[in-house]
Each structure stands twice: as structure tokens, then as C-alpha cells.
Amino acid sequence: MASAVQEVWRLRSCRAASTGLTVPMILDSGDAARVAAIDFQCAPHVGMRFELDATTWEVTRAKDHVRGWVAQPVPIPWSAA
């Protein structure tokens, strides 16, 4: 299942990839994890934030030759809860 996401903060330009880049992302919420194929407008990078399923996620680990991309939910500040 592919999911289109909206990047929350653009920390660097999107010149590294064309539009419609689909990336498998491990969504690790702490007590459970799942994998989603996500359409990004640019290549993901550590620290990048995006919204998916009413949750803001932050990429916490880059893909390497052994492991894939990992994102974790951004904690909600107590004042906003």
C-alpha cells in the first residue's frame, strides 16, 4: 500500500530526487512497527519530518546496505496534549 505524505519542515532542498519517489519506511512507534511505501517529493534524510495517518513522524535512521529507513513519531508536547 502506498501512502502520499506531506513533509512538515523542509530542512534542505529537494534537488536530490525527482517527484514521486516511493520509499519503504519502517514506522517504529515503540511498542509496534510497520512498513509503509511512502511517496516523497524529495529523497528522505535523517531529521526530516512528515505527516501520515494523523501522526507527525521524524526519520531517525538512514538506509544503509543492511537496514532500511526508520521513522518514529514526534512526541507531542505536554502543553499541546
Residue-by-residue pLDDT tens, the chain, 81 positions: 455 565 554 444 444 444 568 999 999 999 999 999 999 888 899 999 999 988 999 999 999 998 999 999 998 877 665
- Only one residue has cell 505527516, namely 51
Q: Are 50 and 6 in contact (CB under 8 A)?
A: yes
Contact 58, 49 (CB under 8 A): yes
Instruction: Enter the pTM of the model.
Output: 0.71
pLDDT reported for residue 77: 79
Show the cell assigned to 34. 510497520
